[in-house]
Amino acid sequence: MNEEVSHPREGGDPESCAKCEEYLAGWKRAQADYQNLKKESEREKAEFAKYANERLLSDLLPALDQFGLALRFIPDTATLPEEEKKKWNNWLTGIKAVATLWEQAAKSAGLERISTEGAFDPTKHEAVGEEEGEESGTIIRTMQDGWMLNGKVLRPSKVIISK
């Protein structure tokens, strides 16, 4: 028995034509689902890579803090003899160059210092004290720098605000 199967569009069985359309629609849905899955997977992979170093960078923040603190207390060399002053100034130039390298490395890793200028923002700042001030709710001074990693707060800035 050798039956010829005619194509549904060539005047064949309408029921088999409907089945073909159903299978084609299912295949197209499966293809679309697969493409969506690929896109979602790529998005998740990129998100993971963006924050993969979060713990390492968080562990480095105290070193950045101490380096910044050391730069705040640079000794006055004005009263030193010229030869000693020159040595200290050369050393200081090197230290400032290292500070610049730390800042560049932090920036390239997606780290950025949280600004503490202006009004207190509880999503980025942690108030650790209050003092009398001119305008209530403004930041008077920074006790510890805060950092963001690719727009996400890694550590809030610890600030003193006016009351």
Q: Do 24 and 80 belong together in one domain?
A: no
Residues 37 and 61 in one domain: no
Q: Quote the pLDDT of residue 1.
A: 46
The tens place of each residue's pLDDT in the chain, 163 residues long, gives: 444 445 555 555 767 788 889 899 999 999 999 999 999 999 998 888 777 788 888 888 998 888 888 888 888 888 899 999 999 999 999 999 998 998 899 888 889 999 999 889 999 999 999 998 888 889 999 999 999 998 899 999 999 999 8
The answer to whether residues 72 and 26 belong to one domain is no
Residues 35 and 87 in one domain: no
Amino acid identity for residue 4 in this structure = E
Note whether 129 and 160 are within 8 A (CB). Answer: yes
The confidence score (pLDDT) of residue 9 equals 53
| Residue 117 phi, psi (nearest 5) | -90, 135
- How far apart are the two ends of the chain, measured CA to CA in Å? 97
Residues 68 and 128 in one domain: yes
CB 71 within 8 A of CB 103: no
One-letter amino acid for residue 154 of the chain? L
Residue 143 lies in a domain: yes
Structure tokens at 88: 């200290």
DSSP 8-state class, residue 109: T
Q: Are strands 125-131 and 157-162 parallel, antiparallel or unpaired?
A: parallel
Please indicate, yes or no, if residue 34 is contained in any of the structural domains: yes
State whether 62 and 77 are in the same domain.
yes
The owner of tokens 């979602």 is 40
- If asked whether residues 30 and 57 sit together in one domain, one would say no
Q: Give the separation between CA 108 and CA 120, rounded to whole angstroms.
A: 27
Task: Classify 24 as helix, strand or coil.
Answer: helix
Q: Left if phi > 0, otherwise alpha if psi is -120 to 50, otherwise beta: which for 85?
A: alpha
Find residue 125's DSSP bridge partners.
Answer: 157
Give the pLDDT confidence score for residue 12 in this predicted structure.
Answer: 59
Does 2 fall in a domain?
Answer: no
Structural domain span for residue 63: 53-162
Structural domain includes residue 125: yes
Instruction: Find, among 109, 130, 6, the residue nearest to 59 by Cα.
Output: 109
109 and 95 within one domain: yes
What pLDDT does residue 68 have?
85
Residue 38 sits in the same domain as residue 101: no
Q: Are residues 63 and 137 in the same domain?
A: yes
